[in-house]
Amino acid sequence: MPAISLRCRSCGHEVGLDGVGACEKCWGPLEPVYDLDEIRPRLTREKIAAGPPSLWRYGALLPVETPVDPRLPPGLTPLVQAPRLAEAIGVRELWLKLDTANPTHSFKDRVVAVACAKAQELGLRTLACSSTGNLAGAVAARAAVEGLDAAVFCPAGLEREKLLSTAAYGATIYEVRGSYDDCSRLTVELSFELPWAFVNVNLRSYYAEGSKTVAFEIAEQLGWRLPDAVVCPVASGALFSKIGKGFGEFIDLGLVEGTPPRLIGAQAQGCDPVAAAFREERPVTPVRPQTTASSLAIGNPADGDHALAAARACGGSIHSVPEDEIGQNMLLLAENSGVFGEAAAGICVGALREALRQGTVTADDSVVLCVTGDGLKTPGPVADRFASVEIEADADALLEQLGVAV
């Protein structure tokens, strides 16, 4: 087992590798601890490159046993250059990390794969979660392929596109009358009463570690080098802070050289508790979400203060993007890269543009932008773009309309 214990990020108390989600002393978040000195001599670039074409190639840095025969494995998603988008935004080099290529088209497949491995170690037979949509699909699909039951709790009124795919996998969907934060509180209560694997509650310590693999892959896919900046959406704050941790571990192990990339966080203006705290230089305080970006609509982010610390530690920044600019930035991404990302990706584009204006990112930088979910899941912000031209099935008539001489 690569991890040796769980340690509280707030008070430092350590416990065993159990299915617990919070510190018994202070209720702070628990995080796996690794013996990097023991790992260093046996984890080389060559060994990683020879590993499976999935996130399990980094099993030595994950807190669960690597599955012998992993089913539907996520990770090792494409990192593609976007020169036209780089020119439109104004940076030297721009790469897109396409986690839309994961099995359920979002980065959540990573975290669920790790949490599910721990659930199976513990003998739990039901995967569960609170979700704004992407996690619901990932939990449902993972349960289906592993032969487990699935129960997901979502705020009522979530995009049907996300819930239809979740239903197709056979999950039981509970639509909660309230916000995502209401769903989260409900699942915390239920985690004490039901023998279920709530991936983002009692297994959160393992679940969140799966996000590190985004950083590992970026470094490996860039030829074992680090970009100058990475742009990432912020919801709970776990993905953002864990990407920072991932780069740090690769540097500590000598797998890459240089300074950690500046992390640029992105939130929608209608739900920006972390961006507001960064801007006002204070701790995160909860807000009531009022945003069309449902995947980021977490008003009380569990890892918000850790996201703040991660941004400050690397010289990064966290920005909020006006609601009326989300669709525009989704279109800017699509029209200049051929990638249709969900609202979170549009918000990342907006945050990158703001970071350029404020100087956190410069025109000479090499930047990676995380596309964490597929635009087909959240088409609402660009729905008004659809406008077709109805014609007769007559080539001569169309040519005449186009002004082409026949």
pLDDT confidence of residue 254: 97
Residue 371: domain span: 79-104+209-376
Asked if 50 and 27 count as a contact pair (C-beta separation under 8 A), the reply is: no
Tally the domains of the chain: 1
Asked if 90 and 356 count as a contact pair (C-beta separation under 8 A), the reply is: yes
Q: Let me know if residue 336 belongs to a domain.
A: yes
Tens of pLDDT, residue by residue over 77-109, are 999 999 999 999 999 999 999 999 999 999 999
Q: How confident is the model at residue 133 (pLDDT cuts 50, 70, 90)?
A: confident
Q: Let me know if residue 258 belongs to a domain.
A: yes
Which residue type, as a one-letter code, is found at position 307?
A
Q: How confident is the model at residue 226 (pLDDT cuts 50, 70, 90)?
A: very high
pLDDT confidence of residue 239: 97
Q: Is the pLDDT of residue 270 over 90?
A: yes
Tens of pLDDT, residue by residue over 369-400, are 999 999 988 888 998 888 889 999 999 999 99
Tens of pLDDT, residue by residue over 286-339, are 999 999 898 899 999 989 999 999 999 999 999 999 999 999 999 999 999 999
Q: Which residues of 338-361 are buried (b: 16+ CB within 10 A; e: fewer)?
A: ebbbbbbbbbbbbbbbbbbeeebb
Q: Let me know if residue 348 belongs to a domain.
A: yes
Residue 224 has which token pair?
Answer: 């074992």
Q: Let me know if residue 72 belongs to a domain.
A: no
Cα gap 34→171, rounded to integer Å: 34
pLDDT confidence of residue 134: 92
Q: What is the mean pLDDT of the chain?
A: 95
Q: Nearest Cα to 70, choosing from 90, 52, 97?
A: 52
Cα gap 81→88, rounded to integer Å: 14
Q: Model pTM greater than 0.85?
A: yes
Q: Let me know if residue 7 belongs to a domain.
A: no
Q: Nearest Cα to 130, choosing from 300, 279, 276?
A: 300
Asked if 308 and 274 count as a contact pair (C-beta separation under 8 A), the reply is: yes
Q: Let me know if residue 394 belongs to a domain.
A: no
Residue 245's CATH number: 3.40.50.1100
pLDDT confidence of residue 195: 96
Least-confidence region, from 16-20, 96-100, 122-126: 16-20
What is the rounded average pLDDT of the residues 253-264?
97
Cα gap 265→217, rounded to integer Å: 19
Q: How confident is the model at residue 44 (pLDDT cuts 50, 70, 90)?
A: very high
Tens of pLDDT, residue by residue over 149-203, are 999 999 998 878 888 989 999 999 999 999 989 999 999 999 999 999 999 999 9
Q: Let me know if residue 53 belongs to a domain.
A: no
Q: Let me know if residue 240 belongs to a domain.
A: yes
